[in-house]
């Protein structure tokens, strides 16, 4: 029996934050978009701590911001870290000063089952045809070009969709990503393992930091402690990959032993009980989650979100990269579908900007790890930038350097090592300067250049989403590159190029 074939402009694989955001941003421009999601939402996912630009920038553009605001997620003003040389925890705030905290200098801590469901419903609201319980099986290819996909429908029938573009947003377990070409390169530096579970009635930090993410470094690695409501907390340990064997046996015991090793987390959980039922009842393990695909596009196909790359959970960059890459991809698709920009230029712009954003976070996170030293720790010794890690970083920075700073000629191993060390020191100095104040003032996020660089693009997206036509015109990223339109939904040729 011939499979039923339908036609769309864009077929999106996966309805996580990347897929639903892309679908909303393209469908709202009137294009025919289908989203195929293999689960029935709401479904569990990790990645609960967000950055402000996702909510006030990308989700404002996609139309989801008001629904998110109504959902009542806890407001995250920043992060509190027991990390680096200071024995006391220190706090950074998204706002310039805690007293100036405005409505857009906060992010949310989210239960992903709820958050992702709101975004997927929004994609539907913006006009996308969202189909849950539909698992994509493969691509339809004609020579180099991808022309569509095959999937099994909710009723188990095999189906076919022809589309001008297929976007793989199916996350880290994607089975399509390697069809784009290139290879998935796993990071040695961030080669860790995460073990996580959920607790009721863990302690809370005093206001205004009650709903901040708390990250605590200890000998075997570091913990996240994310308050998801007044009583529910997500708790995870990031440790060396080699721990995998120990954890196979009894994850409950392994997590307990790690908690006992970390006095601050043990204290926060001293009166808490682990959730043992429902979506939060399981102790889960994730490993090998830091990687990037060496190419993100092929004619007729793009990768966004975790299908393309992910770096490390310490600074909540996952959902940011997922939704930001979808914004970039949506601009490219909207522009090409309407004949505003040719395909090659649009794809090149998408890939160059996405790689730069991944790259600045990668570099920032290396500096962040470098800031914490523990001479006796196997985990932290491995996180020192050494001759062994530099070639990997160098290769990576060169990859992005070509399109971003034009500095790649300067990027020999020594210069890179120095720059990372300087970044790290500058950040540590900023922490020292603010955190040492007895008035409890927090470290402004933008107080050091490495953080400023990492947050620059996110800040821009947020600013432009708020200001629209009134935003400053932006400069192209490379000679002849494109710039975003005032409404943020297209690329335009740069007038300064
Ligand atoms: P996903 O959220 O994985 O969504 C992909 C969707 O595709 C899923 O719904 C899946 O069911 C669907 N799918 C898969 N295959 C198919 C198929 N064949 N057909 C149809 N549908 C399919 N990020 C943060 O921002 N903050 C954090 O605090 C944070 N903590 C993290 C902690 C850990 C330990 C890890 C590993 C990651 C963390 N992340 C965090 C990262 C975050 O989880 C991801 O970056 C984010 O979920 C990526 O979104 P996505 O839409 O690309 O993919």
pLDDT tens profile 451-476? 777 777 888 888 888 888 777 778 88
The ipTM (two decimal places) reads: 0.99
- State yes or no: pLDDT of 414 exceeds 80: no
Q: For ligand 1, is residue 51 a contact (CB within 6 Å)? A: no
In this prediction, residue 351 carries a pLDDT of: 94
* Each residue's pLDDT tens digit, 113-160: 999 999 999 999 999 999 999 999 999 999 999 999 999 999 999 999
Q: Which pLDDT does position 463 carry in this prediction?
A: 81
Which 8-state DSSP code applies to residue 276? -
Question: Is 58 in the same domain as 170?
Answer: yes
pLDDT at 367 over 60: yes
Say whether both 376 and 483 belong to one domain: no
In whole angstroms, what is the distance from residue 28 CA to residue 205 CA? 41
State whether 136 and 12 are in the same domain. yes
SS3 (DSSP) at 95? coil
pLDDT tens track for 35-68: 999 999 999 999 999 999 999 999 999 999 999 9
Dihedral sign of CA atoms 260, 261, 263, 266 in order: negative
Region 369-380 average pLDDT: 85
Percentage, residues of the chain above pLDDT 90: 61
Per residue in 261-293, pLDDT tens?
A: 999 999 999 999 999 999 999 999 999 889 999
326 within 8 A of 18, measured Cβ to Cβ: yes
Rounded-to-integer distance, Cα 331 and Cα 407, Å: 27
* Total Cβ atoms within 10 A of residue 209: 22
Same domain flag for 375 and 418: yes
Alpha carbon of 130 to those of 48, 124, 190, 298: distances in Å? 23, 6, 35, 24
Rounded alpha-carbon distances, angstroms, from residue 199 to 121, 228, 283: 29, 10, 11
**Six-digit token string for 316:** 């909540």
Is the Cβ atom of 185 under 6 angstroms away from ligand 1? no
Residue 188 has a pLDDT of 85
pLDDT at 33 over 70: yes
| C-alpha of residue 129 to centroid of ligand 1, in Å | 21
Q: How far is the CA of 242 from the centre of ligand 1 (A)?
A: 23
Task: Please count the structural domains in the chain.
Answer: 2
Task: Give pLDDT, residue 246.
Answer: 75
Are both 303 and 432 inside the same structural domain?
no
pLDDT for 400 equals: 53
- Would you place residue 447 in the very low, low, confident or very high pLDDT band (cuts 50, 70, 90)? low
Q: Is residue 229 part of a domain?
A: no
Run of H or E including 432: helix 413-435
Q: Which residue has the tokens 């076919």?
A: 160
Ligand 1 centroid–CA 319 distance in Å is 8
Residue closest to 20 by CA, chosen among 305, 309, 301 = 305
Residue whose structure tokens are 């990997």:
392
Q: Is the pLDDT of residue 164 over 70?
A: yes
Cβ-in-10-Å burial (0-12, 13-18, 19+) of 114 comes to middle
User: What residue ranges in 247-370 does DSSP mark as E strands?
Assistant: 273-274, 284-287, 291-293, 297-298, 301-303, 309-310
Given pLDDT bands bounded at 50, 70 and 90, which one contains residue 405?
A: very low
Are residues 375 and 350 both part of a single domain? Answer: no
Place of tokens 């046996």: 249
Residues 314-350: tens digit of each pLDDT: 888 999 999 999 999 999 999 999 999 999 999 999 9
Q: Which element (helix H / strand E) includes 396?
A: helix 390-401
Is residue 80 situated within a structural domain? no
Tell me, yes or no, whether 344 lies in a domain.
Answer: yes
* Residue 173 belongs to domain with CATH number: 3.50.50.60
Question: What per-residue confidence (pLDDT) applies to 422?
Answer: 80
Counting ligand 1 atoms within 8 A of each CB, the residue from 313, 324, 361, 362 with the most, and so the one to mutate, is 313
Query: Residue holding tokens 């939060």?
Result: 280
Residues 8 and 149 in one domain: yes
pLDDT of 395 higher than 70? no
Residue 101 has what pLDDT?
Answer: 56
Partners of 298 in the beta sheet? 301
Residue-averaged pLDDT of the chain: 88
CB neighbours of residue 485 within 10 Å: 17
- Residue 4: pLDDT band (50, 70, 90) is confident
Q: Are residues 18 and 132 in the same domain?
A: yes
Are 153 and 48 in a shared domain?
yes
pLDDT (tens digit, 9 = 90+) per residue, 89-107?
988 888 755 455 567 788 9
pLDDT band at 20 (very low <50, low <70, confident <90, very high): very high
Which residue among 81, 228, 319, 361 is best mutated to probe the pocket of ligand 1, counting the most ligand atoms within 8 A of its Cβ? 319
Asked whether residue 314 falls in the same domain as residue 431, the answer is no
Classified as helix, coil or strand, 306 is: helix
In 188-278, at which residue ranges do the beta strands (DSSP E only) sit? 192-200, 213-218, 221-227, 232-240, 273-274
pLDDT of residue 445: 63
pLDDT category, 407, cuts 50, 70, 90? very low
Q: How far is the CA of 171 from the centre of ligand 1 (A)?
A: 5
Mean pLDDT, residues 478-483 taken together: 89
- Could you tell me if residue 380 is inside a domain? yes
Q: For the chain, what's the residue count? A: 497
Min mean pLDDT across 61-70, 164-173, 187-196, 229-238 is at 187-196
CB contact at 8 A, 82 and 213: no
Are 50 and 130 in the same domain?
A: yes
Show the domain range for 426: 367-456
Cα–Cα distance measured from residue 382 to residue 208, given in angstroms and rounded to the nearest whole number: 35
Contact predicate 13/107, CB 8 Å: no
Of 12, 13, 14, 196, best ligand 1 pocket probe by most atoms within 8 Å of the beta carbon: 14
Q: Could you identify the residue written with the tokens 């955001």?
A: 21
For residue 497, the CA-to-ligand 1 centroid distance in Å is 37
Question: Based on the number of CB atoms within 10 Å of its own CB, is 128 exposed (0-12), middle (13-18) or buried (19 or more)?
Answer: buried
Phi then psi for residue 90, to 5 deg, are -130, 160
> If you count DSSP H runs as helices and E runs as strands, how many of each does the chain have, helices first?
14, 24
Q: Tell me the CA distances in angstroms from 193 to 96, 127, 248, 312, one per residue in order.
A: 34, 39, 12, 10
């Amino acid at each position: 029996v011939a499979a039923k074939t339908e036609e769309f402009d864009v077929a999106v694989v996966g309805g996580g934050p990347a897929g639903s955001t892309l679908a909303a941003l393209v469908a709202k421009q009137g294009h025919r978009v289908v989203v195929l999601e293999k689960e029935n939402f709401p479904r569990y996912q990790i990645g609960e701590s967000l950055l402000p630009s996702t909510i006030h920038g990308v989700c404002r553009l996609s139309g989801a911001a008001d629904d998110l605001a109504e959902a009542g997620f806890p407001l995250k003003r920043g992060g509190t870290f027991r990390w680096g040389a200071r024995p006391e925890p220190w706090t950074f705030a998204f706002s310039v000063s805690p007293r100036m905290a405005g409505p857009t200098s906060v992010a949310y801590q989210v239960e992903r089952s709820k958050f992702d469901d709101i975004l997927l419903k929004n994609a539907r609201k913006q006009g996308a045809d969202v189909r849950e319980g539909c698992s994509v099986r493969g691509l339809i290819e004609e020579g180099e070009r991808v022309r569509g996909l095959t999937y099994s429908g909710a009723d188990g029938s095999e189906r076919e969709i022809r589309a001008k573009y297929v976007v793989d947003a199916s996350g880290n377990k994607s089975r399509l990503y390697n069809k784009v070409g290139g290879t998935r390169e796993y990071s040695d530096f961030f080669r860790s393992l995460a073990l996580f579970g959920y607790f009721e009635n863990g302690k809370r930090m005093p206001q205004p930091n009650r709903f901040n993410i708390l990250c605590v470094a200890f000998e075997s690695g570091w913990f996240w402690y994310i308050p998801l409501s007044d009583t529910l907390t997500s708790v995870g340990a990031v440790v060396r990959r080699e721990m995998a064997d120990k954890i196979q046996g009894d994850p409950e015991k392994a997590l307990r032993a790690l908690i006992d090793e970390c006095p601050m987390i043990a204290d926060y959980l001293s009166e808490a009980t682990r959730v043992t039922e429902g979506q939060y009842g399981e102790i889960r393990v994730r490993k090998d989650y830091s990687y990037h695909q060496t190419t993100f596009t092929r004619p007729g196909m793009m990768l966004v979100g975790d299908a393309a790359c992910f770096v490390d959970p310490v600074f909540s960059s996952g959902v940011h990269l997922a939704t930001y890459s979808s914004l970039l991809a949506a601009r490219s698709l909207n522009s090409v579908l309407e004949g505003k920009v040719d395909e090659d230029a649009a794809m090149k712009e998408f890939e160059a900007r996405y790689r730069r954003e991944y790259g600045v976070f990668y570099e920032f996170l290396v500096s962040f790890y470098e800031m914490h030293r523990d001479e006796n720790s196997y985990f932290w010794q491995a996180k020192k930038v050494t001759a062994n890690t530099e070639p990997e970083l160098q290769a990576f920075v060169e990859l992005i350097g070509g399109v971003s700073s034009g500095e790649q000629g300067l990027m020999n191993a020594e210069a890179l090592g120095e720059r990372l060390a300087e970044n790290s020191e500058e950040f540590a100095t900023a922490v020292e300067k603010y955190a040492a104040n007895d008035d409890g003032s927090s470290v402004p996020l933008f107080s050091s250049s490495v953080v400023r660089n990492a947050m620059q693009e996110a800040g821009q997206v947020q600013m432009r989403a708020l200001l629209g036509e009134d935003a400053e015109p932006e400069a192209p990223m490379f000679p002849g590159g494109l710039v975003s339109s005032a409404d943020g939904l297209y690329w335009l040729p740069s007038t300064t190029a």
